[in-house]
Structures are given as C-alpha cells and as structure tokens.
Structure 1
Amino acid sequence: MQQLLEAAFHQSHQPQCVVDGADLLLLVNHAYLSLTGEPADIKGKPCPFFDPNLQGPTMVKTIKEALMRKGWWEGELPFQHHARNFQSWVSMKRLQTAAGSSVLVSFSDISERKLAEVKLHRLAYFDSLTQLPNLSLLLDRLNQAQMRAKRSNQLVALVIFEPDNAEALRTQIGSTAFDQVVIAMGARIRDLLRAQDTLAAQGHGRFALLMPDLPDRRAALNAFTQVAEKIQLAMRSELPDLQQGLTIAVGASLFPLDAVTPQTHLKQTETALLQAKRRGAGQTLLFTPALQQLASARQQLAKELQRAMENRDFVLHYQPVLDADTGEITGVEALLRWQHPERGLLLPEDFLEAAEATGCLKQLGGWVFRESARQFLQWRNRGVRLDMVNINLSAGQFQSPTLLAQTKALLTETGIDPGCVTLEITEAALETEAPAERLQQLRDLGIHLALDDFGAGRSCLMQLQNLPFNQIKLNREFTKALPDAKARAQLQGLATYMHTLGFQVVMTGIETPAQLEVAQHLDCQCVQGYLLREPASPEELNLGPSHESA
C-alpha cells in the first residue's frame, strides 16, 4: 500500500509537494520538478507557498490558521522560486501521522487563465478603439463617486460630449481618419483632466466624463464649461483643415441635485446632450427638470406618431405656385399635415423632428411622394393645367444613403413624369459631403430641384453657381421687409444675380398687394403666398387663375 501511494504521488500529473512543520519541502513529485524547473535535490528547502517574503506574513498566517482550524485551504498564490515565476491555484491538506504533522500541497499554473481574464476584463470594461474605460466601467466608478459624494456632501458632474453631425464628419473624412481623430481626441482630453476624473468612450466619437469632488454648483459649471472649451480646441487641432463648422455638443447633469442613481444620472446627461444638439451647433446644456418634461413630451409624441402612421392620420394640403405676371397656376406644393385626434391639424414643425428621430420619416416621405404624385396625375387627368408638383425633402431625407434608390423606385411605382416633380431642399440639408454630386444624381433622373427658404441658412451666393438647382425660393423674411425701398433694392440685386446663374426665382410669403407688385417688377418668375392662395385640401383647393396677379 505504501508503495502504491508513493507511485500515485510521484506519477500524478498534478504538481504536488509535502511540507513539514517548519515549512520545508519533504517530498516533491515529478510534475512539480517539471513545472518549476527545480533540481531533484530540493528536499529541505523552503516551500515558496509558505515564504512570508513572497506571500506576505498576513497571507501565510491566514493559511496556517485555516489548516489548523479546518484542515485545508485553497486559493490563488504566486509561485516564485529561482527558475519559474507564475500565478498558481493551490490546494492544501493537513496530514497527521505518527511522525507528526505535515501539509500536502497540490497546485497548477494558471498564468494563461489569468491572461485570458485580463483580456476579458479589458473587453468588458475598456473601449477597444481608444483603450479608455467604457460605459460599464464608467457606471461602476460613477456609483463609487456618488457614494463618496453622499459622505462628503459634494457634487458629482457627468458630462457627455460628441461632435455635431458626427456621422456626416465620418463620411466626409472617412472611417479610418475619423477613428484616428477620436483616438487623438481621447488622448488630448485625458491629459487635461484631474487625477480623480474618468474619461470614457461610448463609441462613434462620443465621450463621457466623470468629474467627482466638486464643492458646489458654480464650481461644477465652471469645470465642465472649461472642459467643453478645451475639447472644442482639441478637435479643431486634430482637423485643422476642417475648422469651419467643427463644433461640439455637450450635455451635463449633477448628483445629487438632479440624479439619485448612476442610471438616472446617465439618462439625464444624455437628455441634456440631445436637447443641446436640437438647439443648434456648439451648444452646452445642463440638465433641468424642464428638459426632462420636454424629453417626455417628445417620447409621447413619438408614440403618437407611430399610431398616426398605422391609423393613416396624415393628410396633404396643397398651395399653388403662380406665374408672377399672368397669375396662372403653374404648380402646387405638397404640404404635410397631421390630423391629430386631440390637437387638431398639426404643421410639420410640430412633429417632423420627432418623425426623423424615431425613424418614421423614410416611410412618411415615401407616402408623401406617392400621394402627391397620385393627386397630381388625378388633376391632370381631369384636365387641370398643372406643370409641376413640389415635394419637400428634410435634411435627413436628403442625406440618407438610400435617397437615390428610393426616388427611382417611387418614380417607377407612381408612373409620374420626373419632369413634373420638383424636390424642394433646404440649405441645412446641404451641410453634408458632396451635396453637388447628390443633387446632380437627382437631376440626372429628370427631376427638377428647388433650393427652399434661401437666406435662412449659411449658403453663400458663390456656392450657388456650383449647385444644379433649377429654382431658388427666397425666404419669406425678404418679402416681409417690402415695400421698403432699401429691401427692394437688395432684392433687385439678388434676383438679377440669380437670373445670371440661370435660376428661376420664386418669392414666397406674399401677403399684401404691395409685396406682389414688387415681385412682378423685380422679374420674379413665380410667386406664392396667402394673398394668392392659402394651403388647402384637394377638395377645397381653388386651382383657377389668381385675380390679384392678373
């Protein structure tokens, strides 16, 4: 039996050793020698697992107390003895014989497992692109910061920021270059922070910043405002050739003034960021209860929009576009309306942003095109003289990668002549990569294009000569200033320049005979406004000539 036990010990694949009461090696098996690289004559040498210099006096004491109390111990310990250093999983069993007490130690090298754990930890808690903490680690540190803040009566700021129009920027410079900018921005911003701050990456160019230990609201506001300015400079320094229009949206919230848990803190900061982006480029916004009410109202609106799509609560009204000289109707502009069951007839400004945010706009835009084409063809079949139907495109629709394919499909489906369709596009929609190329692709389908609301955005006259529009529709603010002599002179110069570029000019917002008279004398080809025709349903629309223009 003794020989059998010794054979089992020595031939075991598990590295094992027997340690005496003085922590010296009595026996080691072949697996021990193979793993550790130790010589065979190590009997009487100290066992590394009981070495206080390696394991620490407290750990050695804990192990020995467990062996005395329970008769066994197991756990993770480092092995370091001459030839080999590695992490090991160790199981110990106290042996009691007539010769005295000893300990049987079995262990294994877990270095590869530990390395895998480290890799898994990085995958779980760090962003693979920037190597910064990710959302999971941020929430963990946010929880710790909030607990400290409760004890110290201080504030914790959470700030989220990202470039305005991040996806458009990625498209403009390419994914690889965008990723390099994100990495560089992360490195630059990290160098600007305090030791106790945490910068986390959330993907797609969005960062979150945890700023604990702030004494009061004013200090918090100053801190994240300064950081926002530094972030803006960091991004511009990474893209010196694109400084024009490079802006950062920033949202922030404070604990415990606003949030009570890490999750609500994060949600409120995201709400502030979203509202900052909706207010325009380069906005910084601190969360308030009023913002939450606004966000809740938008969420409710989004739900109602979905129901409206299902219930077909949307309708189209049409406003004629008239020849400025003859008063004849040359076309109609299709205007989307929502017949809300409780709030009545809603205009696009009341719901279009929510439709875009919820992804309803593509479906809704397809319906507008189909219904506009159907109604236009119905009028034509009845003998109504109409040359054109104008259909509005939002910025999101124009910038969609599926725009061209969807437009081709709609033209085929409806059977409308492309030459009878004018797509109206706002200046804001042109803030994308290669707008002229996209416009030309639409023109190549035979469609007419109108730049809508010119003067409301940032387009300059020099840019217009490179854009393949057929028509320029002037912002109604130009019309409001009439018949003032100075405004009239400015409009005359603008209209003349438009004509030299080959554009038709449409004056919109005409509400008085004096404004109409100016439009006719300025040689505007077309006019539109409530004086001439108000938007109306197909059943109520008067498509006869205008007496005012005649």
Structure 2
Amino acid sequence: TWRCYVSVQSKSSASLIKQFAACQYCYSLIQLDRFKFVNDSLGPSFGDEFLKQLAQRITASVIRNAMVCRQGGDEFIILVPDSDTENAAHMARDLLEIISQPVQVNGHQLTLTASIGIAQFPQDGKSFELLLQAADAAVFRAKQQGRKTFQFFTRQMQEQAQQTLQIENELRSAIEQKQLLLHYQPQVDANTGALIGLEALIRWQHPERGMVPPGQFIPLAEESGLIVEIGDWVLDEAARQISQWQAAGFKVVPVAVNLSVEQFRTQTLFETVRDVLRRYKLDPALLELELTEGIAMDNTANTVQLLQQLHSLGVTLSIDDFGTGYSSLNYLKRFPLHKLKIDQSFVRDIGHNTEDEAIVVAIIVMAKSLGFTTIAEGVETIQQIEFLRQQQCEQLQGYYFSKPMAADEVMNLITSNKGVFKLKD
C-alpha cells in the first residue's frame, strides 16, 4: 500500500538508529498543521491521497542518502546522516516551502502548512524514543511560534515539555475538582455609559500554582482536545450564573461566551446550546456566542448551516477579534451575525498610530453598512473612548471601565453605580 511508499528503502526509523550509530545525523519530525480538518471535512480517503502525494513530494526533495518514514497520522520523519545544524536548517526551510505548495486531490485544491522539530544524534538522544521525544518537544515549540516554522531541540524545551505535560494532566481533573471559574468583564454603551453586557472569561484557580492565566492553559486545552469539554462547561456555567442572577432579582444583561474551533467541529454544538437554554429556562437574547474569524472560514458551507441553526434559537452571534484573521467580506454577508468586536491590537494605539485608527474607522463604517453593531475591546484611556465615540462605535469594553471580576463583584458593581460607567474625566 502507499503507506509503505516512503519507507521501503529505509525499513524503519528505529532500525536506522542502529544503522547510523557511528555518525552524527539530524532527526526531523514533520507535523502537518490542521490536517485533522481535512479528514473531518473531506473524508479519510481524501486525506490518504493527500498524504501520498505529499510523501512523494517530500521524498523527491531530500538529498539522496536521507531516509524518509511515515511516523503515522500526519507525521513524517526524516533522518539525514552526516548533517550539521546549518544543513538541517536549510533542509527544513526548503521542506516548509515545498509542503505549503497547493495539492490537487479529486478536483479539490488544498494548501496546508507544517511545523518541524529537529533533534540531533547523539547529543539530543541515543535511542529512537529519546530522539522522538526531543523532536516532538521542538515541534510543540514551533507550533507555539505560529506554525509553518521549525525549531531545534534544546534542554530548556525538555524541561518546559515536562512542565507542560504536568499542567495538562492537572487540567484534566480541574473541571471535576471545581478549580475552573468564570470572571466577567463589563461591556458599556458608548453613548450613555450604561452596562449593556458582560463577557465570560475562564480562570483556573490551581490549589498550588494559584490563579493560572488563560494564556498558559487554553493552548494546552486546544492541543490536547480538552477545549471542547472546557468550552461546554463555560457555556453551561455562564447560563447557570445568568439564571442565578435572575432568581436573585437583579436586572440581567446579556453574557458573551467564546466558542472554540473544536466546539464547532463536534457536530453537536447546536444541541449543546439548545439544551443549555432549556435547562436553565433562559431567554436566548441573554446569551451571546463569540466566534473567531478562523472559525468562520474553517468550513464555510457547514459554518453557514450551523450559524443559521444557532440564529434560529434566538442567541446573538458575534465575530471576536475582528480584523486579525481572514476578514472576508463574503462570509460577513452570508452569516447571520449581529456584532463585530474590534480587536484590542487596533484599539491600543489609537492616538499614536494613524494606520490603526484608519482600520478602526473602516471596520465601523463597514459594520454599519451591513447592519452590525460594533464593540471595541481593550479600551484603557479617555482618548480612545473619545475617538471611538466620534466614529460612532456603539459599545466599549476594557480596563478603563473594569477588569474581569467574579460574579459577586459584578453584582456589587451594578448596585453601587446602578450600572452606569463614567465616559469622561
């Protein structure tokens, strides 16, 4: 079968370790980025044909005495004898370029990128298992650096990899042990200063590490697949909290919940949202679902159908971090969206960067023409507020008004200032 195509001449990577034991060589681990999406959306037979063509392309591109093996799934291994760091880096750059070229399969044109981790024998490991661990740690770092890049293994990576594995294991039990919690950041009407919404933001109260920042565990949750379970918990907890506030007699505002790409791929998101609304007898208008531009472009046909189903429930749909991804006007027209959230990277330099100001103005004008509400996140100064109000941005969110806070603090805030924030010095 084709699965043996790239390993006929090399037998197995493990046996090559013995074969090359007398020399120095580089062990490169190639992981395709987002290959799971190909299998999920187009089917495994399509994925197999894609891998076959890619294997042929990789094999044809490496030097004659290099050995190429399929490690399994979306991974390839390349062993290059008598190779130094400079040669390995040169080969990695060439491979990244070659892999990113379009592949034609059954009438579909597909372009994927890859991440490469490089380990060196014997300094990084004297066995197949140790070299694989080292290269895997380097691949993980490459993915953290934004994918479509390569990294050499270092001892620091090994220590970080061990710490990462420990945190991942602890994260698996965090939900069951009730270590996860939600904080809420106010969203404010730009004209009146009235509280008009809250964004639910996850936090991890670790018994030993203290409050673990989302940036440390959300990427791990995404890599490990835990993000779906965590995302479903966030959705349920936010709905439960809204219901609890209502039962206590507070005037409740809509709560926005972030959705992950993996939640969209589960095929059960609609049922999950519907069941949460039913469980807590919640008015759908009180729940807002935020999706990223990456989700919007991941699988357009399926996304349109799913968003229409969610829209039929009555929940609000918004695009988070708008302007940082694909920014395709086509999907904005096709999707039943209500709101665009202007990314804080553009808001941050208002008053200092005319290009960012121009982007913000363009987003607001475009949103208005399409009938969308705009909300700016990351607002921290009165200068930013004045600019955004002048451009008729309807809603604001950021540390100028409040940091994310626990549920009881939200209610204290509302009762103390009656839900109105200061918009001027």
Q: TM-score, normalised by structure 2?
A: 0.88
Q: CA deviation at 1:393?
A: 1.4
- The 1:230/1:316 distance shift into structure 2, 3 A limit, reads closer
Matches within 5 A, 1:230-309: 230-233=98-101, 236-238=102-104, 242=109, 246-309=112-175
What residue in structure 1 maps to residue 76 of structure 2? 207
Among 219, 234, 237, the residue aligned to 1:353: 219
SS in structure 1 of the partner of residue 205 of structure 2: strand
What is the match of residue 362 of structure 1?
228
Q: CA deviation at 1:369?
A: 1.6
For 1:66-465, list aligned pairs within 5 A: 129-133=3-7, 137-149=11-23, 155-214=24-83, 216-233=84-101, 236-238=102-104, 242=109, 246-434=112-300, 435-465=303-333
Provide the rounded CA distance (Å) in 1 between the counterparts of 2:156 and 2:261.
Answer: 28
Distance 2:226 2:103 in 1: 37
Match of 1:63 in 2: none
In 2: Cα distance, 1:336 partner to 1:522 partner: 31
Amino acid at match of 2:220: A
1:467 and 2:335 aligned: yes
Query: What per-residue deviation string (whole Å, max 9, x for no partner) do you get for residues 439-483 of structure 1?
Result: 223222322111111122232445422332211111112222224
CA distance in structure 2 between the aligned counterparts of 1:224 and 1:325, rounded to whole angstroms: 53
Do residues 502 (structure 1) and 374 (structure 2) align?
A: no
The 8 Å contact of residues 6 and 56 in structure 2, kept in 1 or not, is answered as: no
Q: Deviations over 1:351-406 (max 9, x none)?
A: 11112333332222222222211211222233322341111112322333332332
CA shift at 1:210, angstroms? 1.9
Other-structure match for 1:102: none
Higher relative contact order structure (alpha carbons within 8 Å, sequence separation ≥ 6): 2
User: Aligned with 2:324: secondary structure?
Assistant: coil
> In the alignment, is the contact (CA less than 8 A) between 2:184 and 2:200 conserved in 1?
yes
Question: Any idea what the Cα deviations from partners look like across 1:277-303, whole Å, max 9, x if unmatched?
Answer: 232231122222122122112111112
**Equivalent AA in structure 1 for residue 364 of structure 2:** A
Displacement of 1:341: 2.4
- Judge which range, 422-431 or 495-504, deviates more: 422-431
Cα distance in 2, alignment partners of residues 222 and 367 from structure 1: 45
Residue 259 of structure 1 and its aligned partner are, at CA, apart by 1.3
TM-score normalised per structure 1: 0.69
Q: 1:221 to 1:526 in 2, by over 3 A?
A: closer
Do the aligned partners of residues 522 and 193 (structure 1) sit closer, same or farther apart at CA in structure 2, a change above 3 Å counting? Answer: closer
Counterparts of 1:429 and 1:290 in 2: how far apart (Å)?
Answer: 33
1:548 aligns with 2:417: no
Structure 1, gaps ≥5 residues long: 1-126, 150-154
User: Equivalent residue for 1:64?
Assistant: none
Q: Which amino acid aligns with 2:12?
A: L
2: CA distance, partners of 1:518 / 1:231: 45
Verify the 8 A CA contact 1:145 1:212 in the aligned structure 2: no
Residues 227 and 485 of structure 1, relative CA distance in 2, 3 Å threshold: closer
Moved more, 456-465 or 275-284: 456-465
Could you say what secondary structure the match of 1:326 adopts?
coil
Cα 1:264–1:411 shift into 2, 3 Å: same
Residue identity (%) = 29
Pairs within 5 Å for 1:12-91: none
Structure 1's 140 and 524: CA in aligned 2 closer, same or farther, altered over 3 A? closer
Deviation of 1:340 after TM superposition, in Å, equals 2.0
Q: Quote the Cα distance in structure 2 between the aligned partners of 1:188 and 1:531.
A: 53
- Once the two structures are superposed, residues 190-210 of structure 1 have per-residue CA deviations (whole angstroms, 9 ceiling, x without a partner) of 233444332212333322222
Report deviation, 1:144: 2.1
SS of 1:532's partner is: coil
Instruction: Give the Cα–Cα distance (whole angstroms) in 2 for the partners of residues 230 and 128 of structure 1.
Output: 20
User: 2:347, 2:54 → 1: CA distance?
Assistant: 46
The letter for the 1-side match of 2:118 is A
Shift of 1:177: 2.5
Inter-partner Cα distance in structure 2 for 1:302 and 1:313? 14
Cα distance change on mapping 1:230 and 1:526 into 2, 3 Å: closer
Q: Which 5+ residue runs of structure 2 have no aligned equivalent? A: none
Cα contact 2:346–2:359 (8 A) shared by 1:
no
- Shift of the alpha carbon at 1:485? 8.7
What are the within-5 Å matches in structure 2 for residues 530-545 of structure 1?
530-541=399-410, 542-543=413-414, 544-545=418-419
Q: Name the CA shift for 1:268/1:378 in 2 (closer, same or farther; >3 Å).
A: same
Check conservation: 2:99, 2:113, Cα contact below 8 A.
Answer: no
Q: Assess, with a 3 A threshold, how the Cα gap between structure 1 residues 195 and 519 changes in structure 2: closer, same or farther.
A: closer
Q: Which amino acid aligns with 1:436?
A: V
What RMSD, in angstroms, separates the aligned Cα atoms of the two structures? 2.6
Instruction: Answer whether contact 1:130 1:183 (CA < 8 A) is retained.
Output: no
In the alignment, is the contact (CA less than 8 A) between 1:373 and 1:416 conserved in 2? yes
**One-letter amino acid matched to 1:421:** L
- Structure 1 residues 324 and 228: alpha-carbon distance in aligned structure 2, compared to 1, 3 A threshold: closer
Which stretch shifts more, 273-282 or 454-463? 454-463
Return the alpha-carbon distance in structure 2 between the equivalents of residues 416 and 351 of structure 1. 30
Who is 1:44 aligned against? none
Alignment length (residue pairs): 414
- Are residues 346 and 263 of structure 1, via their aligned partners in 2, closer, same or farther at CA, if it must alter by over 3 Å? closer
AA aligned opposite 1:545: G
Instruction: Give the aligned residue type for 1:370.
Output: D
Partner SS for 1:210? strand
Offset of residue 260 of structure 1: 1.5
Instruction: Give the drift of 1:217.
Output: 3.0
Residue of structure 1 in register with 2:392 after alignment: 523
Task: For 1:218 and 1:357, locate their aligned partners in 2 and report how far apart those are by CA, in whole Å.
Answer: 30
- Of 494-503 and 436-445, deviating more is 436-445
Shift of 1:221: 3.1
Larger Rg: 1
Say if 1:488 and 1:357 are closer, same or farther in 2 by CA, change over 3 A.
closer
